[in-house]
Structure 1
Amino acid sequence: MSAGSTDKPASEYRLPTNVKPSHYDLTVRTDLDSSVFDGVVKINLDVKMPTSKIVLNSNGLKLDKAYVRSDASKDALVASDYSVDEKDKRVTFTFPTTFNAGSKLELKIGFTGELDDGMVGYYRSSYEKDGQKKYYSLTQFEAVDARRAFPCWDEPALKATFDITLVSKVDTVSISNSAAISEETFSANKESHLALKEAFPSLDGQWKITKFQTTPIMSTYLVAFANGPFEYIESTVKLPISNKTVPLRVYATADLIHQAQFALDVKAKVLPLYEQIFDVPYPLPKLDTLVASAMENWGLITGRTNSFLLDPKKADMAGKKRVIVVQSHEVAHMWFGNITTMEWWDYLYLNEGFATLMGEVITIGKVFPEFKANSEFIDDHLNRALALDAKLSSHPIEVSCPNADSIGQIFDALSYSKAASVLRMLSAYVGEDKFLKGVSIYLKNHMYGNSVTNDLWKGISESTGLDIPKLMDNWINKMGFPVVTVTETSNGIKVRQDRFLETGIAQSKDNETLWCVIPLSILTVDSNGKPTVDRTAILDTREKEFPLDASKPFKINAGTNGVYCVLYTSKRLSKIATEVAKPNSVFSLEDRMGLINDSFSLSKAALMKLSSALTLVDAMQQEEEYLVWNGIAGNLGGVAAVWRDNAEVYDLLNEFRRSLFGPIVKKLGYEYSASDSPDTTQLRTCAIGMCAVAEDMTVVNELKSRFDHYMKTGDDSRIPADLQRTIYRVAVKHGGRDEYNAVKAIFEKPPTPTARIAAMFVFNSRQTQDDELLKETFNVTLRGARDQDVIYFFRGLGINHKSKMMLVDFFKQNYDELCRRFQNTFMLKYFVEDAFGNLSTEKDLQDTIEYFKDKDVTRYEMSLNQTLDGIRARIAYLKHSTSDIETWLKEWKKKNSSAL
């Protein structure tokens, strides 16, 4: 495999520091009819070292002459020469004089660009109105794409303030980071418009000028503006620290705006809470949300339709939770990332890990306690993080990102989910109040500035009195995580830490890391039979002993806050299974979730038998919590995917799944009620979905009849929102051309964003078995899907057993086109993961290695290596556990034959 150039030191990918920007005066004119934009930027610069050269970032723009005015001279100097570095996306202007250190300059550059569909920089997006395609424009600058919209110093540490003026057609709406302070139609007779006429000679009365308030000092990747036929809904909120009333809006196109109220309500609930928790005022005069793209721009959040829109009358529980999570996550960024910004992309987790923990756990736990956010985090983030971090090809949370290609690769489960998991572990160990106090200190010490990891540790050290770097450095700077092995002694237990890999305990050089502090949180039972947790117990050496009464139930990692797996002896696991089965078990919801996830991870690594994990699950048939059943469903689904080619094992697994989830369907039925708790609603959906996947024909026939009714009558009242995806899937899998076309029609003209996503996941052949329909879907993937939707097609086609090898061939045949089409986005790494991530034979592995050996994998090298590790792990899993799972399932069936 061929990688890009890595022979330059990291510093050479950074801009020179001879001059630094302090303020931008940016004017951009947008012509949606012609799909072009042009503009002028004036940048105030502080000269730090004598220079005649000014180097800044620009990518894909046509630049006019550059002029400089110095505080030492009133005359403007035009650049005598300029050069373009296409590889590093820079332009160098050379001037006929040397500017002295300490002087101040104003650099002026005109520029022109195209509004394309590339989803980065300043680009266009489309929607349909009265059967015609209409366009609007918006920005997506993270991580290094502000330079596509205007020449700038496009690095997070080179902050400045911004005055933004947008010139647009009078029948459109313009929005930006700050509030608009004036908006007027252009007039050639108005003195204040003369400079605009000079910059844009074609201006006339069809254009208007919108000026926005000066922003706080901020990084270029957070600058945002948009133009189009937007409508909005609004409310206001009183903030507790600043005592100001802030207007809140959600913008969308006219066809969607009626579904934006819920997102607006969520924003109104979480914004005041963040200000109160951090004791840091929200600094901007407003907070808008635009339904498009996906970015935490300061004052102007953007997000996709399925992230911010729902019809309250037709919304499923998953859709509601997604809106809550995404809106809350993005509002958290107004502090983490926007007020205080990472110094460089090596520290991305300071933005994303915190926004994940704050936005998806702590805040939601306070505002929407019914969703049990702290518990759900275990499946949504902790398990996801450990799955990726269990590979040799993992990377540390804090990871070197010298160039743009490396930056794009770290927007992954480690920067988001593992970072949030480690921070959650720290919060549980020191106490949430002290943790949040330390975070507040950190934010206050770095207001409007940039930070690195140690800045955060200083804040939390101050609030706790603990040596936080000693506690945390290895969790942040070392890849991987430990497995804590528990053996019982005459006086208690002995625990040992080793690096865990999905193929077993790491050996020799890969097992050198000692996590200096592993919070063990040992749960034991007191004399009254009540659980008690020792949160002071830590493992800070390779091995350590702890006294306890092993004749009673105990568990390591109580609450499942620790970022590690726990390996018990098979005898102890049997005792745990007995305790778990009790209706009043001492093990909490989070404990039970952690036990399930650990048992399957450890069995995959051959550190315990897969049959032991299945025995644990079989003991939990009286479980009532949705989140436990969701974990069971996910883990059994993963096992079924590995053994999909083994018909006997797969059929037995389906019988086992039907035995677990069938009784829940019988108990809860198919009808949803507004009086149902979130747990009941989600458990019903989960159980019906699992029975459908496992070919429970009673369930399948019920769901088919509901879709048949819809096809005959057009009435979808028998398709509850929470069952849309499952019913569509059953219809396509067990139907033919008519059902396929019906779901495709929903995808093309959906009643709601959630219906579109549900239809797309199914129409894209997640279940389609017909070869002709599969070919049609592959054609739609390449020719009919929007760029942002192609990933859904890859994901569905990769999961479908029938089409997964076809997807590999499709990727290879269209590789060059995919590279060209998505060259400016992060998407290639996801295509690699989805196309090759479900393979499981030695031939598949060697074919994949051979295919990529002559490719330039620079932009997705991490993902490719992780995918290859995943194939290796599945090969090993099949080898060491096929006999075990087959034997256990046969014995289980024999034992339960009378009940089946």
Structure 2
Amino acid sequence: MGKGLYISKAVLITCVVAAIGAAATIIALSVVYSQEKSNNVVVTPSSTANPGPSPSTMPSTTPSTPKEPWDFYRLPDSLAPVSYNVTLWPRLKPNADELYIFTGHSSVIFRCVRETDLILIHSNKLNLTTFDGYHARLMGLNGATAPSLKRTWLVVPTQYLVVQLNSKLQAGSMYELFTDFVGELADDLGGFYRSEYMEDGQKKVVATTQMQPTDARKAFPCFDEPAMKAVFHMILIHPQDTVALSNGMNYDPVNVTIDGEKLIQTRFEASEIMSTYLLAFVVCDFTYIGTKPGAEVLIRIWARRKAIEEGQGDYALNKTGPILEFFEKYYNSPYPLTKSDQIALPDFSAGAMENWGLITYRETALLYNPAVSSNGDKEWVATVISHELAHMWFGNLVTTRWWNDLWLNEGFATYVSYLGAHYAEPTWNMKDLIVLNEILGVMGVDALASSHPLSSKEEDVQRPAQISELFDSITYSKGAAVLRMLSEFITEEVFSSGLHTYLEEFKYNNTVYTDLWRHLQMAVDKDGISLPTSLEDIMNRWILQMGFPVVTIDTKTGKITQEHFLLDPASIVDTPSPFNYEWIVPITWIKTGAPEKQYWLVEKEGTNNEMALGPPTDWLVANINMRGFYRVNYDSDNWERLLTKLSSRHEDIPVINRAQVIDDAFNLARAKRVDTTLALRTTKFLNKEIEYMPWQTASRNLDYFYLMFDRSEVYGPMQAYIKKQVQPLFNHFKNITENWTKIPDSHTDQYNQVNAISMACSTGVEGCKELTTGWFKEWMNNSSKIISPNLRSTVYCSAIADGGVEEWNFAWSMYKNAAIASEADKLMYALSCTKEPWLLNRYLEYSLNPAMIRKQDASSTIVYIAGNPIGQPLAWDFIRSKWDHIFNDYGGGLSFGRLISGVTKRFSTEYEYNQLLQFKEDHGGQFGSATTALEQSLERTKANMNWVDMNKKKVLDWFNNEASSSSV
């Protein structure tokens, strides 16, 4: 940090004037902001001197019937921003009204694209200073004359500052609009907000940002749409002993004095041309570790001082350089910036945010301590860093035009994050783990009639809540799955080649998905790859219609058919499809003794004679390594052949396909396409299986049976069967770890050891609970006693479930004092495992108290509690009774929909379905970004009801029979 230089008098006067103007509005802020939260005012007149239309005379702002330009949620195309100059001064201490605020002033230089007498610019929850009675000032540039202002006002529903002019702006001319404002530095995790943490008994405040998708407008007035790219010139004024960061590299900070207060002013290099949602700035007293001077790209990892001193940023620093190098080669394009700052924040709503040059993270996504963090924590850090760095090109350098194509940014970054993580950690098998982590899970969502296509029409995604809804598993995980499928059938090399030309043509600009298809087609043509039709025709079927097919193969005849797969075949699909729910499907398969082959299913049905089987010992499995986004069903004979192969030599079937056979069978059974007992039979070979992927897939599918039956008479026989299956796995890990004293060598074996202990303890395998409660007791008696980081989550949960208030209170104390976020997360989950209802109710009350549970963790905490069969009805009652508070204070988060789906996932009765309907009716319109999640929960509940009615007796009989039979 630079020392003691003082700025020029001219600049100082500017700062003082801004401060005086801001001070005059600070008192008004608390009134305006509280009114805005409690009363959704349509219009705020600019002043009594130059009033805008009064609320009574304003046109209707009903979204469905817009009448005026400011009634629309999309900006008109009449103006194009060129650059911003923004100065902000966040206060890291509350004022007399106990409000944290920031003051600022900004100017935007824009070009008039076509004549207009209206300026619409986004502004949300900012108290704008008036200049001669107006909310803004306008100046002409390069000889242009600025029209005089007629009136200005704020439109709250569409979040605009409206500037109406007495004459028109001229096409081709340049203008500059000035604003001065005060905002609240709230703890709402959006826009310019504050994060708090304790260090050495002292509360520290961080001023930080999260602009995506539509919250840059909460920091300063701006054209807040992704296609409105511009250059940003940032200045931050901040307290002594703090540092300021932004997208660009900082110039030497200088000392300033404003109203007798000694402060620092930090100015930053101009950003690249970019979208508003990628803007970031932070004021904090963090420190960093970084690359040595002279490095081609400066890499710095920022975090709380103690976290850096303890080495928690070392892993991120070591892996960022190699991952950046990987993407430079993968894209065949140099990293566009000179620095890459990455900062771990105590409070952050998402996992991370790809702000260009200043990536923000939750602490759990960037910090790693090998003494405390698990291999899962380490994998999370590697994949999230890889995801965000992938965006530096795909998303930041080239940006989709509108949010309806968010899937292209996020699905792409999710897919290639596994490639980057694989490069950084080549022994982890990351290219396979994408199947478990992304693909299998999202298939359950996309098999609902209430799913949605990857790409929507622009006109269907207008309001901020609609945009926020798109940040879901379809966008991220299905997007990754279909791009992985595409990369597989055209080859990764050709895929990479197409990306390079795409990035070169559109760098610093905006695109739509068809631009990518065109460049990939060029690469396909250049390489001479043969496809059944154009790449665009193939891929549009996967992105413009929701869902995916189930491919049915008859191994007697070689006939192949496809059909839209729905978990509940009786559900009604209201969403029309431009392709009549048919896909062009790349089918890969192997059969006994034969190499892998591929067949394109281009219509509703086809025939491939090679898929017909011969002798009874032959078998066939399709969708090798789950490269395609579809499920596979077979004739009953081939199912029996696969079951026979699994029971005799399961290793002959590739490990991913062993997982796939289980997952397909269970989901086909839920869709009534195969018998449920066939699905259960796919788990019988597990008493000989030691690989992670089949076990994890089986565990997830059996979890559904627990959700449906753990309050019924099925529970006991089910527990007995799973106990019998997991006992050999428990013994296997006991042996290879020399009685739990060693860590397994393989990354996935470390995961499967957790499965072995978790399932063994929950089903009562002899010696398991004694093991976990013993470790926990030792830790309670001596907190320096180390429990293996990989096992902590399951050990904590098992011991707290078996214990009482003493164990719970101890875990709570350790949670509140945890210095490492990943450790706090494990304890946060484990606290939900108690069987004491009163403790669970206490924990629910804590969840909405930010002094107890951080706002970023509130939804997760409630969902964890709902995952406990004792806690589920408590959590459901809790969110219903607190809904207004939850919606108003937590409804803006991108994970809000997860709360609804998490709390209702056990629902399987008419009574629960009616409760959910009543909940929807009681709070009509008050679901925001969780609206789709609510509809999916209703659909899921109805499907669960039907499934339980059909299957309860046969499931009970099967488990009874298997549990009583002798072990293999």
TM-score norm. by structure 1 comes to: 0.93
Among candidates 546, 557, 563, match of residue 629 of structure 2 = 563
* 2:146–2:175 Cα contact (<8 Å) kept: no
Which residue matches 2:429? 372
Per-residue deviation, 1:488 = 2.9
Root mean square deviation, CA, Å: 2.2
Which residue matches 1:690? 759
> Given the alignment of the two structures, is residue 169 of structure 1 paired with residue 226 of structure 2, yes or no?
no
Which residue matches 2:57? none
Among candidates 209, 212, 233, match of residue 142 of structure 1 = 212
> Given the alignment of the two structures, is residue 815 of structure 1 paired with residue 872 of structure 2, yes or no?
no
**1:275 alignment partner AA:** E
Which residue matches 1:550? 613
> Given the alignment of the two structures, is residue 486 of structure 1 paired with residue 562 of structure 2, yes or no?
no
Which residue matches 2:729? 664
Match of 2:848, SS state, is helix
* 2:625–2:657 Cα contact (<8 Å) kept: yes
Which residue matches 1:320? 378
Per-residue deviation, 1:735 = 0.7
Among candidates 624, 634, 638, match of residue 572 of structure 1 = 638
> Given the alignment of the two structures, is residue 676 of structure 1 paired with residue 745 of structure 2, yes or no?
yes
* 1:498–1:506 Cα contact (<8 Å) kept: no
> Given the alignment of the two structures, is residue 712 of structure 1 paired with residue 788 of structure 2, yes or no?
no
Deviations 1:105-150 (A, max 9, x none): 1111112111110000000000102223210110000000000001
Deviations 1:496-523 (A, max 9, x none): 1111111138789889734341001122
> Given the alignment of the two structures, is residue 654 of structure 1 paired with residue 719 of structure 2, yes or no?
yes
**2:670 alignment partner AA:** K
* 1:500–1:506 Cα contact (<8 Å) kept: no
Which residue matches 2:495? 435
Deviations 1:793-843 (A, max 9, x none): 111111110121111111111111111112433343222222222211111
Among candidates 427, 446, 454, match of residue 506 of structure 2 = 446
Which residue matches 1:32? 92
Among candidates 582, 585, 600, match of residue 538 of structure 1 = 600
Q: Identity percentage over the alignment? A: 27
CA distance in 1, matches of 2:372, 2:709: 37
* 1:606–1:880 Cα contact (<8 Å) kept: no
* 2:383–2:420 Cα contact (<8 Å) kept: no
Per-residue deviation, 1:866 = 0.6
CA distance in 1, matches of 2:238, 2:954: 67
After TM superposition, the structure 1 = structure 2 runs for residues 126-525 of structure 1, keeping only pairs within 5 Å, are: 126-186=196-256, 202=258, 206-235=262-291, 245-257=296-308, 258=310, 259-292=312-345, 293=348, 294-359=352-417, 361-399=418-456, 400-465=460-525, 467-489=534-556, 492-504=557-569, 513-525=580-592
Worse-matched range after superposition: 660-669 or 303-312: 660-669
Match of 1:393, SS state, is coil
Per-residue deviation, 1:584 = 6.8
* 1:486–1:496 Cα contact (<8 Å) kept: yes
Match of 1:555, SS state, is strand
Which residue matches 2:920? 852
Per-residue deviation, 1:751 = 4.4
Deviations 1:193-237 (A, max 9, x none): xxxxxxxxx355621111111111100000000001111111259
Deviations 1:417-441 (A, max 9, x none): 0111011111111111111111222
Which residue matches 2:52? none
Which residue matches 1:872? 942
**1:521 alignment partner AA:** T
CA distance in 2, matches of 1:237, 1:262: 19
* 1:378–1:594 Cα contact (<8 Å) kept: no
Deviations 1:143-169 (A, max 9, x none): 000000010000000000111111111
Per-residue deviation, 1:252 = 0.8
Over 3 Å counting, the alpha-carbon distance change for 1:493 and 1:780 in structure 2 is same
CA distance in 2, matches of 1:72, 1:94: 22
Which residue matches 1:724? 792
Match of 2:306, SS state, is coil
**Gaps (5+ residues) in structure 1?**
188-201, 239-243
CA distance in 2, matches of 1:464, 1:218: 30
**2:835 alignment partner AA:** Q
Worse-matched range after superposition: 134-143 or 163-172: 163-172
Which residue matches 2:44? none
Match of 2:620, SS state, is coil
CA distance in 1, matches of 2:488, 2:358: 33
Which residue matches 2:867? 799
CA distance in 1, matches of 2:744, 2:895: 41
- Give the count of matched residue pairs: 865
Per-residue deviation, 1:247 = 0.9
**Gaps (5+ residues) in structure 2?**
1-60, 95-99, 526-530
CA distance in 2, matches of 1:7, 1:621: 62
Greater relative CO (CA pairs within 8 A, separation 6+):
1
CA distance in 2, matches of 1:114, 1:519: 53
Which residue matches 2:35? none
**1:566 alignment partner AA:** V
CA distance in 2, matches of 1:260, 1:695: 40
Per-residue deviation, 1:17 = 1.9
* 1:570–1:612 Cα contact (<8 Å) kept: no
Over 3 Å counting, the alpha-carbon distance change for 1:683 and 1:831 in structure 2 is closer
Which residue matches 2:26? none
Match of 2:298, SS state, is strand
CA distance in 2, matches of 1:438, 1:204: 58
* 2:146–2:169 Cα contact (<8 Å) kept: no
Over 3 Å counting, the alpha-carbon distance change for 1:828 and 1:559 in structure 2 is closer
Per-residue deviation, 1:582 = 4.5
* 1:186–1:203 Cα contact (<8 Å) kept: no
Which residue matches 1:197? none
Among candidates 819, 825, 828, match of residue 757 of structure 1 = 825
* 2:687–2:729 Cα contact (<8 Å) kept: no
Deviations 1:861-890 (A, max 9, x none): 211001111111211221122122122212
Over 3 Å counting, the alpha-carbon distance change for 1:674 and 1:553 in structure 2 is same
Deviations 1:308-344 (A, max 9, x none): 1121122211111111111111111111110111100
* 1:499–1:505 Cα contact (<8 Å) kept: no
**1:245 alignment partner AA:** E
Over 3 Å counting, the alpha-carbon distance change for 1:404 and 1:776 in structure 2 is same
Match of 2:72, SS state, is helix
CA distance in 2, matches of 1:456, 1:582: 46
* 2:668–2:674 Cα contact (<8 Å) kept: yes
Match of 1:250, SS state, is strand
Which residue matches 1:616? 682
Which residue matches 1:782? 848
CA distance in 2, matches of 1:250, 1:101: 45
Deviations 1:649-670 (A, max 9, x none): 2122212222222222222125
TM-score norm. by structure 2 comes to: 0.86
Over 3 Å counting, the alpha-carbon distance change for 1:8 and 1:788 in structure 2 is same
